[in-house]
């Protein structure tokens, strides 16, 4: 990969990391007005850091841009929806836990747990969140850390290995249950914001997986021209 292409790819990945960091925080914690403003109302969604031809990404971006015209009112709706969808103190209509969506192991074999994946990279910082390891917000945070590590490597062999690890993590610990979780949110969320956030998370993971494929650049995500 040329220096220019690698630089472009790094900037695109940084853009997706920004989206996943904010979107993940909206799933982990009841949204505060400041967070809603920074991410949706006047923030990142209004001028997306990446462009994508992924129909799911396009639909999510459009839904988010058309929502939250009144910040205070929108924040209250999102807080209510968060409690219904994701909080154990609420109805938990769309539990953001891998274990809630997977009851069997693929091919009948025990797969590597997400905890084992974290431990293999010595990631202990997650304990400060006091949230179980298979929570979507924690998995997305770990994905951004892997991506940051990939960006930091100059050695091509290390880049190839980390690229494969990122794709393996997405394949085994996100794609296995994100479709089911996203479907729950689309069906049960009251707000367009959370429907858009769920689709944005799913689409961003799809785009990162495709971007790191390395076989065909046509139609892959790019740097936003906004």
* Cβ density class 84-104: b for 16+ within 10 Å, e for less: bbbbeeeeebbbbbbeebeee
CA 30, 14, 178: angle at the middle one, nearest 5? 50
Average pLDDT over residues 176-205: 97
pLDDT tens, position by position, 209-219: 999 986 655 45
| Banded pLDDT at 46 (limits 50, 70, 90) | confident
Q: What pTM did the predictor assign? A: 0.90
Contact 79, 31 (CB under 8 A): yes
pLDDT tens, position by position, 87-108: 988 899 999 999 999 864 444 3
Please provide the average confidence, as pLDDT, over all residues in the chain. 89
At 218, list the tokens.
Answer: 């046509």
Give the chain's radius of gyration (CA, Å). 17
- pLDDT score recorded for residue 194: 97
pLDDT tens, position by position, 11-30: 999 999 999 999 999 999 99
| CA–CA distance, 190 with 199 (Å, rounded to integer) | 15
| Banded pLDDT at 221 (limits 50, 70, 90) | low
Higher per-residue confidence, 53 vs 124: 53
Q: Which residues contact 95 (CB under 8 A, 6 or more apart)?
A: 86, 101, 181, 184
- Give the SS3 label for residue 99: helix
Contact 78, 191 (CB under 8 A): yes
| Banded pLDDT at 49 (limits 50, 70, 90) | very high
Contact 21, 141 (CB under 8 A): yes
The CA dihedral of 145, 150, 152, 157, to the nearest 10 degrees, is 150
Contact 67, 192 (CB under 8 A): yes
- pLDDT score recorded for residue 222: 57
Average pLDDT over residues 122-145: 90
- pLDDT score recorded for residue 226: 47
pLDDT tens, position by position, 158-188: 999 999 999 999 999 999 999 999 999 999 9
Contact 14, 49 (CB under 8 A): yes
Contact 128, 16 (CB under 8 A): no
């Amino acid at each position: 990969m040329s220096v220019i292409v690698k630089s472009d790819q790094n900037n695109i990945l940084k853009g997706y990391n920004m989206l996943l960091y904010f979107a993940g925080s909206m799933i982990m914690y009841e949204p505060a007005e400041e967070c809603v403003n920074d991410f949706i109302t006047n923030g990142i969604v209004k001028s997306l850091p990446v462009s994508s031809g992924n129909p799911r990404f396009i639909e999510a971006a459009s839904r988010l841009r058309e929502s939250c015209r009144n910040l205070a009112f929108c924040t209250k709706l999102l807080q209510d929806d968060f409690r219904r969808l994701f909080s154990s103190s609420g109805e938990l209509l769309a539990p953001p836990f891998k274990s809630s969506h997977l009851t069997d192991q693929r091919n009948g074999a025990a797969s590597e747990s997400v905890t084992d994946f974290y431990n293999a990279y010595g990631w202990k910082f997650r304990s400060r969140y006091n949230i179980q390891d298979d929570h979507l917000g924690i998995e997305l945070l770990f994905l951004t850390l892997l991506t940051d590590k990939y960006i930091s490597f100059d050695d091509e062999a290390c880049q190839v290995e980390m690229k494969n690890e990122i794709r393996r993590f997405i394949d085994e610990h996100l794609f296995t249950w994100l479709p089911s979780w996203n479907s729950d949110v689309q069906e049960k969320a009251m707000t367009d914001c959370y429907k858009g956030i769920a689709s944005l998370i799913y689409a961003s993971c799809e785009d990162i997986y495709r971007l790191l494929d390395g076989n065909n650049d046509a139609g892959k995500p790019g740097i936003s021209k906004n």
